[in-house]
Every structure is written in structure tokens, then in C-alpha cells.
Structure 1
Amino acid sequence: MIPSNYLEKVYAGFLGMNAGIRLGAPVEPTEWTPEIIKDVYGDIKGYLKEYRTFSADDDANGPVFFIRSLIDEKRKDRFTANDVANAWLNYSREGIGMFWWGGEGISTEHTAYLNLEKGIPAPLSGSAETNGLIMSEQIGGQIFIDTWGMLFPNNPGKAADYAEIAASVSHDKNGLYGARFMAACIASAFSAANIDSVIEEGLKTIPTDSTYATIVKKVQEFHERHPDDFWKCRNYLEEEWGYDKYTGVCHIIPNAGVCVLALLYGDGNLARTIEIATMCGWDTDCNAGNVGSIVGVLAGINEIPENYRQPINDFIATSSVSGYLNILDIPTFVKSLALLAYELAEEVAPTSLVDSYKEEEVYFDFNLPGSTHGFKTDFPFKTFLKHNQRQGYTNSGVLEIFLDRMIEGERSRVFYKTFYRREDFNDEKYKPTFAPKAYSGQKVSMKILTERLRGNEFYLTPYVRSTYNKELIELNKIVLLDNEWQTIEFTIPETDGTFVDEVGIIIESPSTLTNRAFGKIYLDEFHIYGSSNYSIDFSKQSIEFLSVTPFAHHRGNWQLKDDAMIVESETDCSSFTGHYYTRDGSINATITPLSGCHHAIIFRAEGIKRYYQVGFYGNGNVALHLQDFGLSLLTSNNFDWVYGRDYNFEVLVRGNNIRFLIDGKEIINFNDSRYTHGMFGFSMAERGSCSIKDIKVKT
């Protein structure tokens, strides 16, 4: 049976994982020895750096995207390593993001990816037989498995089995034992009494004579003899189990020792556990992330200190091929994870959970304790945002906006960020790319309740912000009523080829210095939904994170020139953007073939290896293809096309029907039911170049 507090425990585990990753990431490079970490930061008690927006990280990418194999393969009877390998290939752009592309024979993940591309199937792609023992036992075996443990609460054996299957795409031997151990620890933490019992449950799932089990037991024994000084244990690991004995870039065995050390000396305290894991050095973000997952689940949501939770603000950036999915709202993600767990357990999910999750829309209900869904303010001096568990439109939980003595002329923006740019980040780590979460033509609604304590009334103006020129597009001002729930609704206006990066409200008051506005506004059930109608003007786009906004590129050289996106490639290549759950609609673009024989529009793309494409395919030919880990021809027609001429491509999809028009003339009309939704983009199946401009999308 899935426990009644399951959703909150998953939330706590995922927040704990990300708190650990964020704490450990700045001191991950090998220059940061424990001695230098201690010299610079002392006894760590909080995040080491303040980020505008924390970078994407492989330690979060893997847990978020590799479990999608369960969704994408649509099979519950049999789960295989090949299913997970498909997720690797479908969501990872070659050489960019997702994991560390350190080179074949150096990075285990890079090596495994290349093996898969060469046709070496999983689990051979990650086996010691294929890659050698050292390569197969690097740390990646255990750092991508957190969500497998969260999917199977109180079932450490099953969590271990699934984690092993997933890890076998890239790892073997002790690499697999680490996956089993960590997933089992997370699964057992849902009801365990203490950290000792968690570790014992993890040990039950791996061979007792393995090196991995041995180091776990050795650290346990050392802790029993020296329970009050983790530095002594860290010195012991350096002397007996260090990187000089377990080679490669980042071997799993020394880091397993640090994880168990941190769990034991942290003794169930989340903050202290991730702090110890970070101070111990080696692979700090991986180790702190793993133990953060375990202790987050064990301790629960109320034991995550605010100094670790608040900077996360319920948001992480990821770096898959889907820019839409890369803007990850943590409460929404853990709800999807929980629903998947109920499905796998063949149990009925609570109605409250089912009603609070809308996969194809942005929907925030603030029901999870402490949830903020990434909302921000531009005026923190006068506007404080926090979660309020007592209030709520229909359920408990709202975003509380506290307004401190505002006067006429002061304006405070409170908003959800719907699009991210390079300027939002401090560094280039893992090259995230983004597609908007909100588009022109979509509806926005929210519930608002005002509690005015002093001063004149509050005014509220819905607005969106253009990411191109930062202009605020303000809609009609509303006078808020006191102590009465109001529904605020508006349509996102046309943005003329660019996108909105903020959707929110502007709060004002005509109050005077002698009677300043003081009070609260509660926000609930924030919702972005409905059909969109927008364009992409390349004169208003930029190249950021090696991609043209708002696209994510897989292979090829994509540049901006003369208000167009130009692609040149020596191989097949593709590029993706748009709402990941787009179903019916139309896509228009002007395509100018410059060289090569294949130039196509992609639509209903679930990833790099799953989509439809239609366009020029050989001289005098137009073809509709299905990409499903290999192109297959659906239908074709004659069409004489020439290099250097502009052609208007239009794809119309409704249900199973696909229509393709060139310059207004229907060339293809075909029915197929393989894919029902997805991104759009452009592709060339072979060497070539072309120009793309004047994109219009209507859904």
C-alpha cells in the first residue's frame, strides 16, 4: 500500500536532492579538496554561492528524464534496459546538456551514449565487457536513480531492481550495486525509524561480498568506534579507499563511502547530512544529492530548513531537448511522479492528487506544504512572498503576498517566470535551453483574496513582459474587494514574434504617507491554458547556450542571419521548440533550401527519436516520414523544387489527419495515429543547408 503521506514525502525527497546538488555543485571540481573546502568555507551551514538562477545539473537531469521511459514505452508488463536507453537517446542532444560529455573512454555516460548510437544495445552499452571495469564502475550508476526509489515506497527490492535496469545502460558491477543500494535506501526511508535501518535495507539488495557492501560495512564499523568526528572517518576513507586506489574520473566506491559517512554522522538531519557530504569533497553534488534524497524522504517536508528551501523556490532548470519541460516546477513534477507510482502499484490515486495535476497546462494550487511554484517579486523591500497553509479558495494552501506600507506611486510585480534566458544564469553549466510555458492567445486565470489591514484599497493590473525589450504589457486595472474571492482572467496578448517571460500581476495602492496600505493578498489556482496563436521573428531572437532561442538543437550548426535561422550540417540534424503537449493546430514557415536533398518540418515530436516530419525528400519529391528510432516512409508525392527559392510550408494536424501544403497547395493528406502530441521544429536527414523564417503557430 502506498502510504497516506506519500506525496509530501516525495516532495521532501526531491527538494532534499536538489538542496544537496545545489550545495555541493560549487566545490565539485577536483581542485576543491576537503582541506581547501574547510579553509575557504569552514563548517558549512548554508549554500556556498548566491545564484540568480541555479544551473542545470546532470544529477537532476537523469532522475527527471530517464523515468520517462515508463511513460513513453507504454508497457507495464516488462521493463528493460532498452526502454531506458530509448529515453537517453530521445531526450539527450548529442554533445550538449543532460550529462557530462567528457569524451569517449573518459566520461562513462558519453561512452554509453556513443555505444547506443553505434547500435550496441543496453545493457551491453554500459557493461564492463564493452567498456572495461573501471569505466563501468564510475559514480553515474547511483546518481541518476533517485526517482526510482521514490516510485516504489516501502518496496526497496523493487526499487533496486528498476534502478539496476536503468543504471545498466551505462554502468556495471559495483556501478549497479550503487544504483540498487541508493534506490533501496530511498524506498525504505518512507517508513523507516532511523538512518541505520535505511542503510540495512539498502545492504539487503546487494551482494554481501561486493566491494560496495564492504565499504558500507567498513564505514558503519568506523562510525561505531568514532561516532563524534566525521573528519576522522573521511581521513580513513582517503587512506584506505581513496581515488588513488579506485581510478577513473570519479569512481563510485570512494564516493559511496562518503555517502554512508554523511548519512551516519548526519543522523537523519537533512541539513547536517548534505553539509557533511559537501565538506568531504570528491563528487560533492552527486553525494549530497543522493543523501539529500534519502534523508528528505526519511525526515519529511517540515525538516528542510528554510535557508536551503527558499532559494530553490520550487524551480529547477533541466537540459533535455524539450525547452518546455526544462522549466520544471517541482510540485507539478512530484505530482506526476506520484500518479505514476499509483499506476505502477495498481492503486487508485487520491482524488485530490488527480484534480491538482493538469499535465498539458500550467496549474498551481499551492496545496503542498510550503509550496511557492517559483513565484517572484521585483519589489522585495515592500512585498514578501510565502506559503500560507491555512487559507485557500477550495483547499488549504495559497501564495501569501504581504504588502508592507505601500503608498501611491509604488508598484510591485508578482509573477511566474514563463521563459528563461542566458542573462538569468551565472554560468553555462549543462547548457539548458527553453521554450515558453505561456503563449499569445492562451488564457490566464487565478483566484485572489484581499485582507486589507490599513490604508486605501489595493489595485491589481494583470500583465505580461516581453523577453525581447522587457516591455510590460499591462491589461485592465482591477480594484480588489476586501475579504472576497475574486477570479482574475485575461488573455495573453500578441507579442509580435517574441515571447513573454513573466506572467503576473502589478499591485498598487493610492494610499498616502499618513495612511499607508498594509495587508495581504492571497493567490490560489493559478492557471495558464487554452489555444495559442503566435509567431517567431528571428530578428528578435538570440543565440544562447549554443542554440537559437527558443529552440534546442541536436547536431548541425544553427545561426542567425538576415532575420532567418540558417542551418548547415555535415550529418542529419534537428531542432525543436514549442509546447510539449501540443495536439492539433497548424505550423507555417518559409523554407529556403540551399544545399542537400532533405528539408522538413517536424511536428508532434516527443523527442529526438519520436516525431513526424514532412518536406522535401530528394529531387522532385515531397515525403511524410515517421521517426521512431529510425525513419520510415508514410507517403510521398511529386513536387519540383529548386535551391534558393522561398517556399511556404504549412502543416495542419487534427486528430489522426495530417495535411501538408506548399504555397497554399495541398501536397499530402494522410492519416496516422502513432503520435498524438509534441513539439515542432525542423530537420535535415542528411548533409545540407537551408534557411528558415516567418514561423507562425496556431494550436
Structure 2
Amino acid sequence: MMIPKNYLEKVYGSILAMNAGIRLGAPVEPPEWTAEMIQDVFGEIKDYVKVYNVFSADDDANGPIFFIRALLDHAKNRHLQPEDVVKTWLNYLREGLGMIWWGGDQISTEHTAYLNLKKGIGAPRSGSIEQNGETLAEQIGGQIFIDSFGLIFPNNPSMAAQYAEIAASVSHDRNGIYGARFIAACIALAFAKETVQEVISEALKQIPEECTYAKVVQAVVDFHKTNPTDFRSCLKYLEEEWGYDKYGGVCHIIPNAGVCILALLYGEGDVSRTIEIATMCGWDTDCNAGTVGSIVGALTGIDGIAPNYRKPINDSIVASSVSGYLNIVDLPTFAKQIALLGYRKANEEPPAHLVKSYNEKEIYFDFTLPGSTHGFCTSYPFKTFLRNSANKGYSTSGSLEIIVFRMYEGDLSTVFYRTFYRRSLFMDEKYSPTFAPTAYSGQTVSMKVRVERLHGKAVILTPYVRTTFDKKIIKTKEFIIANNIWRTIEFIIPDTKGDLIEEVGLMIHSDSSRTERAFSKIFLDEFRIHGSPSYEIDFSKQAVEFRCVTPFAHHRGKWKLEEDKMKMESNESCFSFTGHYYMEDASIEAQIIPESGNSHGILFRSLGTEQFYYAGFDSEDKVSIGLKNFDATVLATKNYKWQHGELYHLKVKAMDNILSLYINDELLLTVQDDTYQHGMWGFYAFEGGECSYGNIKVN
């Protein structure tokens, strides 16, 4: 049996520690930050060096989240192939924005590899030394995107290394691939080994003994044996013998591999100390601290992560793929997704409680993982304090415990899950995250709630949603819940009149007097957002943020707002995506004005930039319904006189496997196809041109 009993908890611990390391190291990543400067400014690091409201998406986090979709989308019941990872790159990356560092051809390894893939150069050629040169192929990216493959194969370093090599081969070669193999093996081994020394020793068996990567690992191991207490002396040795001056490119893997081993050994299995040392060493601080965090997080589990590093993460990160819906990442849910893949790859039956607690098609939080908060926030921490309750859940052990104290008439607090993110929440533009809401008008919100009244009058709970443009709180009916009884609160999200929803939660207040203030504990469990969306998008209530019109993620082209319309201009094919990633049956309507170019319309059931249906104007005097599955195929076409500059009302319907196109309320085409069952929606322009869009309705 490969899967350990505490597998899910260790996966969760690894993911938390990885993100703590990335968050710690990111502020001092730029090359201007030398180890000496970091020490001068921050001294001995013992906590985050920068306070983030929301930590911006990072390539170190994007890779582990999205590259495993090669297993979810393609290699579902077979061994992973390089082509599966190629498809994942092409499908989830937007050209020039997000996910990876777009530093330029022959500068950024990943950017160069992406351009190779676009040209039809497949893996492993796309990342090879033969294609890109030794320096580019041996940059650090090979080992920073593969954490999830180590987590999927606990106690199986050989398979973890194999899958990591396949994934890394898209963009890297030789030492770049050896690093991927080694780090994935380290993570897999950390589930069973007792010490980092054992992990490192065993992981070395997965790479050639004479390769440069193995030599730098062994060199640091040997140095540590003779000087086991002073990591800075080891860093000095690394700088002199294995430093950036000896390896070309922007961020070579070899010096940074040395830092990872240094941090693991001198950190002695302590998560905090390990990520702190990796950060204090300089060079690629966020990559290195995140990498060693993954390893030591799997070694120690959740209990090894100190509250000062865990609490600010609050179980939430944002990513930068083409799917704004998937970019809002709940870490406990991600851990469950990884664990289920691990059971599948081991041919083992997952525990029933794990299967029950994961539903990818909806928002579902059950707070069963120790300490989990699922990103819930409070607007008034002075009067409402949030934590995980380990022993008071509705049907399991965990719940979100909301402690209300000293509340009296006039006080108001909200406790909420953030369903949409705005630029104002971020401190920088790094990796251009884009978002589509995870809650829509017409959907159902439900939760189990229990109240323990401790003192004063009862607290009053009012479910609500908040819009993001008007900042309007839309309340439902008030609830006063009887003491110590679980009750289901449920409501349908009302029509928000074209605005987006950024919060779903509970308003909390009390009629208690100042002399008899309310103290209560509220337990929230089995929080769900589910059901069919029914909403509009009013472009007068949108904004351009992170170089995209909310709530869209654009793939090529220039997109802007003009009063109550979105306008597109492009001299090449371009696309725009939004919506619930798991939306199934739907009708999508928009008024469009094609100004130039002969290919405009609505795309739907999209899994990414290369997989979707499309319906609308296909060429001069034709309309079509088509299928894009990396190559485009016309499913049905019809002659139809249309003109540039005219306004048209387009509607597409996808009901089971029946796909229909209406223009100006006239049914023009219907086809049957079952390639895609769900996905995002948006707009396409296969030839570029100009077009404007407005009056959008989705049901």
C-alpha cells in the first residue's frame, strides 16, 4: 500500500508550506536583493517581510495548480505523456499574460517553450538543449512547477520522478529535468521518511550520479557534515564554488538547487526555519522557499506550520490561468483534488469521507481539514473572531467557529467568502490574475448553522451578497436560531442587475443593550454555492483591471470599455473567456456589432483557449457552429447575409448534446455533439478585426 493513513493532511500541509515559502520569498526575489542586503534590511528573518492584503499570483503557485490538469483533462486513465502536458500549456495559458514569466523569447525559458509549442514543436523537443541551448534549458523552472507530481505519488519516488520529468520536458532539459525529478522524489519521500537527510539521500537515486545537479547536492551535504550549524558559511561556499557567475541565464537551476539543499539541511526539518533560510540566502527566493516548503510540509504535516505563516494565507490564493473561475483557489479543496488523484494513480479506493467532501462542480466547504478556514473573512475582527472548530461540526468534526463578543445594538459585522477579486485588493500587477465570480444570480447558497448563546440577547443572522461595482449589500430574511440546534440557512442569490458578486456571507448583529452585550459562538458548516446561474453583465458596471475587462480573461487582442459595451481590436485571432468553469446546459445571449473581420461570435463550453464550441459569423455571408479541439472543425454551416457595422442579437443554446444558434431570434443552426459537457463562455474572432459586445444574458 503506497497511500499513507494521514495522506490528505500531509498533502494539505505541503501545499500550505509551499505557499508560505512563496509568500515569504517573493518580496526579495528581484536580483537587486543580495543575501547581504536582505540581512542588512531584515536581519534574521522570523516572519513575512511584507504584509499583503491579497498575495498576487505567482508562477511558482500557478504551475502546481494547473499542470496537473494534464491528468484531469487528458491522461485520465493512462500513463502521462508529454503531449498531455503540451495540451495543458496551450489550453490554460493566455499568450503574454499570467501563469508564467513572459520575459521574452530566448530570455524566459517558459516563454521560449510556449512559442515553440505554438509553432508545432512538441515536447520534449520544445524544451530541449538542441532547440533552445544549454543555458536556457537549465534554468530553474524545471523544479518549481512539479510539486503536485510529488504529492500525487506518496512513497513512490520513482513514479513521482517519471511524471515530473514528463512535465518538465515541455520547457527544460538535462539539469533542468534532473531538478524536476529530484524535487518530486523528495516530496514523495517526505511522506514516509523521518529526516531531510534520508529524503535527500534517497532522492539522489532518481538522477544520474555524475550530473551537475547531483554534484551540487552532494557538495552541500558534505559541507554540512563538517559545519552543521552556520548556514551562512555554507552560503559563502556556494557563492564561491557554485554561484550565479558560473552559470548563465536569468535564474539557473544549479546555484538555486544548492540553496534548497542548504535550507533543508540547516532548517533541520522545521518548516519555518527552512523557508526562512531559503529566503535569507537570496537568489531565486520565492522559488527556493516554496520548493523546500513543499518538501518539509509533507515531512511534518499541518502541525509543522507555525500560525504566523499559516494565518495570513487563510486557505486562499489566486492564480493566473485563462479561467477566472479556477483562479480563485481554495487550498483545502485543492488538497482534496490532489489526494483523489493520488488514490486514483495508486489504484486504491479513496476514503468515503474524502469523496463526500469534494465536489469540483460547486463551491463546497466542510472544514474537516484541521485548522481550515476556506478563506472566510470578517469585516469587524474587533467583535467577530474566526477559527476552525475541531470538534463541533454538523456531520463531521470540523466547522467554522465565529466568536461574537461584546456586541450590542448598532454593531454590525459580516463574515463572508470572497467570490470575486478586484485590483484594489492587490499591491502589484504581478502575473496579471483575472477572475470570474464563483457565485452568480440564480444560484443557491446553503449552509448549516448552530449558535451557542453565552451572554446577552441572541445574535441575529442575515444572509447577504455584496456587489462589486455598486458595493451594495443585498440582504435576505433575518434568522434568530434557537440555542444549540443545527439549522439549514438557504437562499437563492437575487438578480444583481448586471453587477458582479464579490461576497457571500452572513451579517451579524444583536439587539443587546450596552449593559448586556451579546456573547455567542456561531458554528458554520457545509457551506455550498450551487445550481444554475441566471445573470446579466452590464459593461457600464465593469472595469479594466490587470489588462482585462472584468470579468473576462483575454487571449490576445486589445479589449476595452466604451460606455455600456466591450470593444475588441486585433490584427490576429483572439478570444475572451469568463463564467462558471463547470456550467453545463445554458443559453448565452449578446448583442454584437462586427466592424471588421469575418469571424465573430460566442464561444461556449470552453475548457480553455484551445477547447470549446463556437457559433456565429464564420466567413462572408456564412454562419457556423464549430468545434475547437486544438484544431477547428465546422460542425454545421449555412448561408446568411450579414454586414459589418450592423447590430445583431446572437444567442447560443447548449442543452445536453444539442447545440443551437439563433440570430435576431431566428433559429439558424442545430447540431448534435458531445465532445464537451461543460465549460466557460466568451467571444471569438478567428481572423481578428473589430467588434463590440453588449446586453449579455446567461441562463
TM-score higher than 0.5:
yes
Match of 2:214?
213
Deviations 1:637-676 (A, max 9, x none): 1110011111111111111100111011111110001111
Cα distance in 1 between the residues matched to 2:75 and 2:477:
46
Question: Using the alignment, how far apart are the partners of 2:76 and 2:325 within structure 1?
Answer: 25
**What SS does the aligned partner of 2:628 have?**
strand
Residues 558-577 of structure 1: matches in 2 within 5 Å?
558-577=559-578
* Deviation for aligned residue 1:78: 3.2
CA distance 1:654–1:74, shift in 2 (3 Å): farther
Indicate if the aligned counterparts of 2:418 and 2:504 stay in contact, CA closer than 8 A: yes
What's 1:25 paired with?
26
SS for the counterpart of 1:394 is: coil
| Matching residue of 2:552 | 551
SS for the counterpart of 2:245 is: coil
Task: Determine helix, strand or coil for the equivalent of 2:620.
Answer: coil
What does 1:672-687 correspond to in 2, within 5 Å?
Answer: 672-687=673-688
Which residue pairs with 2:91 in the alignment? Answer: 90
> CA offset at residue 207 of structure 1?
0.2
Number of the residue aligned with 2:260:
259
Q: Which residue of 1 aligns with 2:483?
A: 482
Q: Report the alpha carbon displacement of residue 3 of structure 1 after superposing the two structures with TM.
A: 1.0
CA contact (8 A) 2:606 2:681 kept: yes
User: Within 2, Cα distance between the matches of 1:549 and 1:639?
Assistant: 32
Q: Distance in 2 between matches of 1:239 and 1:229?
A: 16
> Is it true that 1:179 corresponds to 2:173 in the alignment?
no
Q: In the alignment, what sits opposite 2:128?
A: 127
CA apart distance, 1:600:
1.6
Taking the aligned partners of 2:631 and 2:78, their CA distance within structure 1 comes to 25
Task: State the alpha-carbon separation in 1 of the partners of residues 662 and 326 from structure 2.
Answer: 30
Deviations 1:292-329 (A, max 9, x none): 00000001101100000000000000000000000000
The CA deviation string for residues 11-59 of structure 1, in whole angstroms up to 9 with x for no partner, is 0000010000000000000000000000000000000111110010000
> 1:300: which partner in 2?
301
For 1:616 and 1:345, locate their aligned partners in 2 and report how far apart those are by CA, in whole Å: 47
Structure-2 separation of matches of 1:672 and 1:518: 58
1:329-348 residue pairs with structure 2 within 5 A?
A: 329-348=330-349
Q: What pairs with 1:348-367 in structure 2 (closer than 5 Å)?
A: 348-367=349-368
Q: Which runs of 5+ in 2 are unaligned?
A: none
Write the letter of the residue equivalent to 1:326.
Answer: N
Task: After TM superposition, give the deviation of residue 193 of structure 1 in Å.
Answer: 1.2
Equivalent residue, structure 2, for 1:666? 667
User: Residue 81 of structure 2 corresponds to which residue in structure 1?
Assistant: 80
**Take 2:389 and 2:306, find their aligned partners in 1: how far apart are those partners?**
17
2:318 aligned with 1:317: yes
Shift of 1:342: 1.1
Could you say what secondary structure the match of 1:659 adopts? Answer: strand
Deviations 1:381-411 (A, max 9, x none): 1110011101110100011101111111101
1:539 positional shift: 0.6
* 1:537 alignment partner AA: D
Give the aligned partner of residue 162 of structure 1: 163
Structure 1 residue 279, shift from structure 2 partner = 0.1
Q: Distance in 2 between matches of 1:631 and 1:519?
A: 59
* Matched residue type, 1:400: E
Distance between the aligned counterparts of 1:135 and 1:560, measured in 2?
39
Question: Following the alignment from structure 2 to structure 1, what is the Cα–Cα distance between the partners of residues 507 and 466?
Answer: 11
Q: Contact 2:557–2:574 (CA<8 Å) still a contact in 1?
A: yes
Q: Which letter does structure 2 place at the counterpart of 1:402?
A: I
2:224 alignment counterpart: 223
Q: How many residues align structurally?
A: 698
- Residue 519 (structure 1) shift: 2.1
Output the CA distance in 2 between the equivalents of 1:365 and 1:510.
30
Instruction: Give the superposition deviation at 1:499.
Output: 1.1
SS in structure 1 at match of 2:588 = strand
CA distance in 2, matches of 1:688, 1:560: 16
Cα offset, 1:74, TM superposition: 4.2
Letter aligned with residue 511 of structure 1: S
Letter aligned with residue 261 of structure 2:
V
Partner of 1:640: 641
- The alpha carbon displacement at 1:345 in A equals 1.3
Following the alignment from structure 1 to structure 2, what is the Cα–Cα distance between the partners of residues 461 and 146? 41
Shift of 1:471: 1.0
- Structure 2 residue 42 is the aligned partner of structure 1 residue 55: no
Q: Which residue identity is paired with 2:194?
A: A
Structure 1 counterpart of 2:526? 525
Q: What do the CA deviations read for 1:659-698 (whole angstroms, capped 9, x no partner)?
A: 1110111111100011110000001001311111000000
TM-score by length of 1: 0.99
Q: Which residue of 2 aligns with 1:146?
A: 147
In 1: Cα distance, 2:451 partner to 2:182 partner: 50
SS of 1:291's equivalent in the other structure is helix
Paired residue type of 1:565: M
2: CA distance, partners of 1:692 / 1:600: 10
State the shift of 1:75 in Å.
Answer: 4.2
Q: Distance in 2 between matches of 1:265 and 1:205?
A: 23
2:304 corresponds to 1:285: no
For residue 414 of structure 1, what is the aligned residue in structure 2? 415
What is the 5 A alignment of 1:500-519? 500-519=501-520
For 1:74 and 1:129, locate their aligned partners in 2 and report how far apart those are by CA, in whole Å. 27
Q: Distance in 1 between matches of 2:520 and 2:357?
A: 28
- Give me the whole-angstrom Cα distance separating, in 2, the residues matched to 1:325 and 1:278: 29
Q: 5+ unaligned residues in a row in structure 1: which ranges?
A: none
2:246 partner SS: coil
- Report the counterpart of residue 378 of structure 1 in structure 2: 379
Q: Which amino acid aligns with 1:620?
A: D
Q: Which residue is equivalent to 2:65?
A: 64
Give me the whole-angstrom Cα distance separating, in 2, the residues matched to 1:25 and 1:471.
Answer: 35
Contact 2:75-2:81 at 8 Å conserved across structures: no
Q: CA offsets per residue over residues 239-297 of structure 1, 9 Å max, x none? A: 00000001110000000000000000001000000000000000000000000000000
Residue 137 of structure 2 corresponds to 136
Identity of aligned residues (%): 60
- The superposition leaves residues 92-118 of structure 1 with CA deviations (integer Å, 9 ceiling, x where unpaired) of 000000010000000000000000001
**Segments ≥4 residues shifted beyond 2 Å:** 74-78
> Does the CA-based 8 Å contact 2:57-2:318 persist in structure 1?
yes
Letter in 2 for 1:596: G
Alignment partner of 1:456 is 2:457: yes
